[in-house]
Chains A and B, each alone.
Chain A
Amino acid sequence: MLKINNLSANIEDKSILKDFSLNINPGEVHAIMGPNGSGKSTLSNILSGKKGYEISGEVLFENNNLFELETEERAHKGIFLAFQYPLEIPGVNTNIFLKTSLNAIRKAKGEKELDAIEFLKLVKEKARELKFDEEKLNRQLNVGFSGGEKKKNEILQMSMLSPKLSILDETDSGLDIDALKVVSDGVNTLRSKDNSFLIITHYQRLLDYIKPDFVHVLMNGKIIKSGGPELALELEKKGYENFN
């Protein structure tokens, strides 16, 4: 599904990713763990099309050259990024945003756009599953939401859009145990033989709830080791500094 070959990225002459390669097949869950500044967020930004990086290498998503696609086209093709710091958008009603987003993607896929009633039915159902306060859906997008609510809102958007590849950028940070469980349930519900996940995290904790198929350790812009879930445990025990 996703093939990253020798991806290098610089920002203002600073090299962040160096010859990064990764292969994600349909249905797989990959976790990338790494210390601060190892390039984790850069990777997720580049995959979803954020501008401002100097890039070389190749990224293929279902055989499309990702770098030829605009940010919104990537979303249309099924890439979703759950932001580490979801943005507050004043004056934009959460429900209206969700509906615009969902219908933009449905339209691009050639599916029928949902009307207000169909949409509300769907969003309420998903909100309930995620124990997301329905009243918040009528508020301005993320404005005045707690850290946990913002993250839940990301997962709500993810489950509404049902993407093929979901990238979770430190979704666990700032979540309490209960919220972590709810968020993980949301992810696990979406797991299928067709949907893949790339989970970026500092801690092993999230991986207790979302069992990854592969764990990669990212340091200084490179994967230094890959393995199964046991790698996360080992990492947790040793710490990044002593790991090598």
Chain B
Amino acid sequence: MTEQIKTDFEKIVKASAFSEKDVELKKMHLNKFLKTGFPTRKLENWKFSDLSQIIKKNIGELSFYNDYSFPNKIDTSIFVEGLEHNKIVFINGRVEKVDFTHEDHDKIEINDDFKFVNRSEDNNSLLSLNNAFTNKCYKITVKKNYSLKKPLVVYHSTSNKITSRNINLKLEFQLEQNSSLRLIDLFNDRAENNFINIFYNFDLKENAILKNYKIDKVQNKNIRYSYNNIEQDDNSVSETFILSSGSNFSKNEINCNLKGEYSSAFVNGIFSLNDGQHHEVRTIINHLVENTKSYQLIKSVLGKNSKSAYQGKIFVDSKAQKTDGYQLSKAILLDETSEFNAKPELEIYADDVKCSHGSASGSLDENSIFYLMSRGLNYQQSKELLINGFLLDVVEKITDTEIKNLVKNMIGLKE
């Protein structure tokens, strides 16, 4: 890999208009990545999956060169219908469209030459890889007291014109005081066998509200890693919902720093997996000051040979009295070959806190199926009804009604 990555890097630098300084910085990140390489099981954060092996097995050798000088054609059929929205369209890692039609343009600032600063997890080699190869990083700032009228949908798509086997994306969001943003990430891949590496950074000022819905629903043979870093000031709220279902392998990491009083973070997720899929969510919620709150609910429905893992960490600083932290994970194993792993980690240094965690897994309840079948439903209908019922309360946690209905339709949940 080392030779390939170096050659590709040089090729990219040659074709690009990066400043010398930028190139130096990128080089530094590349070297940092090369030193550690892809994460392996030896790392506690990657206990349940060896990314290095997974890439080798599913993709083989990665290649990194993409030609970003020509635009890709946007396939408008991927656009969500029946929901007015703003758009950012990524195709093969290139931003093809930034469209805030529905918004007051004075209230949103878009900077396409942002130098992403990494504030946490400096030892994350995937972030180094991302920094070395990201083409452009956009920074979106939502100005004080402005709430976006319509949601922003970020389309993550790939086409078969892709030349590399690795895509790196980055977005930076700043939500100023009293502002709010509803952000939907929609994954839609045509290309197969790529490693897709996504980094988001969110900076939430006082009273800001972020709602991020990540929808990976379309079946695809890609390996996806996504990292959200969320910084939260006083009274800010972040809500993250993850529908993890389409990719071959997917890992979502949420790192949330509750550094303002009365700030709160919600992470809810659904894994719906089958045939050899392996998905993970890892969260790190850092309660750093008094009176902060976090809530997490993760549910899995696991078919044949599929596997999900949930690593949830709640860290409570010694200053963070009156912390309220909660996490629960539940899984239905539909087959004896399916596997669910939960690893709750509570690290608490304050004494006046309320923190709890729980985890449960099992197969579908045969008695419930018998009950439903005795009312004329066939086995398949009964099973679906039970699974929908199991997942419904996670979807109900979505506080935005419009998006809740969208998600319900997407996964075929009836009210």
Contact = CB atoms under 8 A, between A and B. Distances in A.
Interface of A: 48-51, 70-72, 74-76, 80-81, 83, 86-87, 89-93, 96-97, 100-102, 104-105, 108, 140, 157, 161
Contacts of A72: 373-374, 376-379
Given A100-B377, A101-B376, A93 B415 contact: yes
B329 to A, nearest CB: 16
Contacts of A91: 388-393
B390 A75 contact: no
A89 B371 contact: yes
Interface of B: 365-368, 370-379, 381, 385-386, 388-393, 414-415
A137 to B, nearest CB: 13
A96 B375 contact: no
Given A50-B370, A96-B414, A100-B381, A89 B386 contact: yes
A157 B392 CA distance: 23
Contact of A97 (B373, B385, B390, B392): B385
B363 to A, nearest CB: 14
Most buried by A among B366, B375, B391, B415: B375
22 contacts: A49-B370, A70-B379, A71-B370, A71-B373, A72-B374, A81-B374, A83-B374, A89-B368, A89-B372, A89-B386, A91-B388, A91-B391, A91-B392, A92-B385, A92-B388, A92-B389, A96-B414, A100-B377, A101-B375, A104-B377, A140-B389, A161-B376
B407 to A, nearest CB: 15
A101 B373 CA distance: 9
B390 A49 contact: no
Contact of B381 (A51, A70, A104): A104
Most buried by A among B366, B367, B373, B381: B373
Nearest to B365: A87
A233 to B, nearest CB: 32
A105 B415 CA distance: 21
Given A72-B377, A81-B374, A157-B375, A90 B385 contact: no
B380 to A, nearest CB: 10
B331 to A, nearest CB: 15
A9 to B, nearest CB: 16
A70 B376 CA distance: 10
Contacts of A83: 371, 374
B378 to A, nearest CB: 5
A161 B376 CA distance: 10
A90 B389 contact: yes
Given A89-B389, A91-B391, A96-B415, 11 more contacts: A50-B370, A71-B373, A74-B374, A90-B390, A91-B392, A97-B372, A97-B385, A100-B381, A100-B385, A104-B375, A104-B378
Contacts of B379: 70, 72
Contacts of B375: 75, 97, 101, 104-105, 157, 161
